[in-house]
Chain A
Amino acid sequence: MPTANGGRTNPLRDPRDKRLPRIAGPCGLVIFGVTGDLSRKKLMPAIYDLANRGLLPPGFALTGFARRDWATEDFGQVVYDAVREHARTPFRQEVWDRLAEGLRFVQGSFDDDAAFDELERTVRELDEVRGTGGNHAFYLSIPPSAFPVVCKQLARSGLSGSYEDTWRRVVIEKPFGHDLESAKELNAIVNEVFPEDSVFRIDHYLGKETVQNVLALRFANQLFEPIWNANYVDHVQITMAEDIGLGGRAGYYDGIGAARDVIQNHLLQLLAFTAMEEPTSFSSDELRAEKTKVLKAVKLAQPLDETTARGQYEGGWQGGEEVPGLKEEEGFNPESTTETFAAITCEVENRRWAGVPFYLRTGKRLGRRVTEIAVIFKRAPHLPFDATMTEELGQNAMVIRVQPDEGATIRFGSKVPGNQMEVRDVTMDFGYGNAFTESSPEAYERLILDVLLGEPSLFPVNEEVERSWEILDPVLEHWASLPQGPDGYPAGSWGPDSSAEMLARTGRQWRRP
């Protein structure tokens, strides 16, 4: 890509030169909530991995902000430990030394003016000493309740203001609100300080290779797109299942539930990638335009009583281990009606998808950890075989396995060897899997680099977030209005009976992923 610097082309960047990676320009990253799990397990290792791959600018600075009474050396030790334990690429002393020079730590709480003034000084000093050039990203790895005060502090201390030729960006993590109204409020708070084009909302699923590969599979091939419509597709199932329970996250989860936690962001984004029309180019504007368009066409199938299901896991034996039910989890409200399993039915109201239901489900303590998109095709209209021959033939399916075991599976009928004509389902596997993933970058690496480069295509915008809430809100309201709580389901199963019934009403069934 010839980089246009205000109309000037860099003579050393040749569009044919595909080797040359884009390195972020001089900049620094400030992490709030640096003592958290996400920061240690994902962010710090990802930053080291980027440095190791030579993608961070020379003089890159990483500043931690937290209440902990640490000196910069203590912070350095924490980052070092996190890198040694979790980084994907091998440890190299010379890379670490360069990174370590740019580490800073500022101690303080979010309402502490002095601490933010100190942070402002630190950042300014980094510009001089490390040459970060006034370009800084703020990663808010903190609960949304703290956003207003942190945003206010960033504005007050002058940290959020950028001058000509410099940038300030803010990175936020889900949850982006808990309904449409709160999402709008949150967006308003953030947008008051940072313009929308400097806000990067992380949905780490979008950083995954397999999700980006959905677009490649669909639009780079002649094989799939012609049948990717209501003429051939019977329905689509999008599943994100976890085998773990809530454990320590119980406090956070109560009152949120599976639908808000997963469907609103990850699953609706996966739906958008699966159902969207072909963008005219892969520029972020075009991509977002298509995603927004398809999300606008998404409607809930009615009546909600019959097209949605929710559940709560109960204690029992799962995979050789005795596990507690949701209500017995430590510190969890025993009266809670929070769902740990949610399934909804969406319709995409456009010509391509007319009449094709999209079933979305997610849950905790399910059979196994898996995320996949399954496109189930209609049966062949006429079979030159009699019924006994095709008794065991199911529907053709194309399954994109997002995680784990990344790849794609195609399911189709094949003759069972023998002197009788008998057709049974077989699978054809594209094992993009275990081989590639080992060396392919983590989602966070990709996303952090994109933030530093200012490349927004993998980040959902305001509009998408609000539209997703608009889709989901009626379900949440409907569930809240019901006298009975979620249906129980045994740990390690694939959800409550009501979820199976939800599909059975239209003569379909869930795939066992």
Chain B
Amino acid sequence: MIIDLPSSNTSAVNRKLVELRESGGVFALGRVLTLVVVTDDGPDLERAIDAANAASREHPCRVIVLARGQRRASPRLDAQIRVGGDAGASEVVVLRGYGALAAEDAGAGMVMPLLLPDAPVVAWWPGEAPAKPSEDAVGRLAQRRITDALSSKNPTKAFEQRRRDYAPGDTDLTWTRLTHWRAQLAAALDMPPYEEIGSAVVAGEPVSPSTELVAGWLASALGVKVKRSPSEHANGLSLVRLVRPSGSVELARPDGKTARLTQPGQPERLVALARREVSDCLAEELRRLDPDEVYEEALAGVSQVTRGRTPVKV
């Protein structure tokens, strides 16, 4: 069910939500958190809502979408409530603010009355994120702030900003996309021979925040020299090699879908390792709401990474 409330305000939206709950009762499920999605009004909006709805199947939540409309317009708020089949396991409130209401502070003011009591608040910027999410008006309302450097117009710059302005509670989908890679690498080291890692090589596209971050993670976790090199493939991260005296552990993904795991004394193995969907990443992010120290250390580790010029053959 989709209910449009044109030229509205948040108390009207709140009234309508209560009314819907009382009359329908269908969505009186336990909601575990409020997810605030901050984006520009446009084609990306529905994609973000779809991802949030998919994630809500694991984490029933109230989704508040702040869609910033035209700034050079007279101030107006168009609200829309979606419940039932149109909203996955969530209830979605879309707030389209125009004019002064498209500004950050006004946005936070509109979100505030709609937050679920007591439940944690998560802010997500599917596109461009503010420079310092933790000091942003909406970001300040949230325990956890999810950004996505890769979807920014300039991923490298966005990633630099994440590194510089990290605050506890920040996270970036760059990090989430690495979970499967990291799990495979960690699992490889669960097996003998249990040797010290001497150094590591990471290769990927020249512009690839994930490649930088996995290098940073290895540098901080292993405390060894990590070299980040370009690769000839254009699919983000394409190679991680952990160098040990008896031979290297190598995880290489030339085609962006299937990776090859090579370990000395063992047959070469293939692993499905496609880039993860945004909804999948978002569901993982919502699983934990405390500050992610390991991410913080990985960000800090990036500065210890050395850079190679010659492309690595994968």
Contact = CB atoms under 8 A, between A and B. Distances in A.
B284 interface: yes
A475 interface: no
A58 B261 contact: yes
Interface stretch (A19-27, A255-263, A326-334): A19-27
B100 interface: no
A165 B190 contact: no
A321 interface: no
Interface residues of B, number: 43
A435 interface: yes
B179 A439 contact: no
A92 interface: yes
Nearest to B257: A94
Contacts of B258: 94, 97-98
Contacts of B28: 429, 431
B190 A10 contact: yes
A59 B261 CA distance: 9
B190 A51 contact: no
A60 to B, nearest CB: 9
B187 interface: yes
Interface stretch (A128-136, A266-274, A290-298): A128-136
Interface string B171-196: 00000100110111111011110100
Nearest to A13: B186
Contact of B272 (A6, A97, A165): A97
B184 A23 contact: yes
Contacts of B294: 14, 16-17, 19
A434 interface: yes
A131 B263 CA distance: 10
A19 B185 contact: no
A130 B269 contact: yes
B222 interface: yes
Contact of B221 (A12, A58, A436): A12
A286 B241 CA distance: 40
A130 B263 CA distance: 12
A434 B189 contact: no
Contacts of A59: 261, 267, 269-270
A54 interface: yes
B44 interface: no
A491 B180 CA distance: 50
A430 B30 contact: yes
Contact of A58 (B222, B223, B270, B283): B270
A58 B182 contact: no
B29 interface: yes
A5 B176 CA distance: 27
A68 B24 CA distance: 53
A436 B187 contact: no
A8 interface: yes
A23 B292 CA distance: 21
A202 to B, nearest CB: 24
Contacts of B165: none
A10 B288 contact: no
B272 A94 contact: yes
A438 interface: yes
A324 interface: no
B266 A131 contact: yes
A92 to B, nearest CB: 7
Contact of A16 (B29, B58, B223, B293): B293
B183 A21 contact: yes
A16 B258 CA distance: 29
A436 B270 contact: no
Interface in A118-162: 128-131, 133
B246 to A, nearest CB: 15
A58 B271 contact: yes
Contacts of A165: 192
A18 B257 contact: no
Contacts of B191: 5, 25-26, 133
Contacts of A12: 182, 185-186, 189, 221-222
A129 B269 CA distance: 9
A11 interface: yes
A407 B30 CA distance: 10
Contact of A92 (B30, B261, B271, B272): B272
A336 interface: no
Nearest to B194: A8
Contacts of A85: none
A98 B270 contact: yes
B255 to A, nearest CB: 9
Given A17-B294, A20-B183, A436-B58, A131 B190 contact: no
A427 B98 CA distance: 43
Given A5-B192, A8-B194, A436 B60 contact: yes
B272 A98 contact: yes
B288 A19 contact: yes
B288 A18 contact: yes
Nearest to B195: A8
Contacts of A493: none
Given A11-B197, A101-B270, A435-B89, A54 B257 contact: no
A410 to B, nearest CB: 13
Nearest to B192: A165
A435 B57 contact: yes
Query: Lowest 4 A-B CB distances belong to which pairs?
Result: A435-B89, A58-B269, A59-B269, A435-B60
15 contacts: A3-B190, A11-B222, A19-B292, A23-B183, A23-B184, A23-B186, A54-B183, A58-B261, A58-B269, A59-B269, A98-B272, A130-B267, A431-B28, A435-B60, A436-B58
Interface of A: 3, 5-6, 8, 10-14, 16-23, 25-26, 51, 54, 57-59, 92, 94-95, 97-98, 101, 128-131, 133, 165, 407, 429-436, 438-440
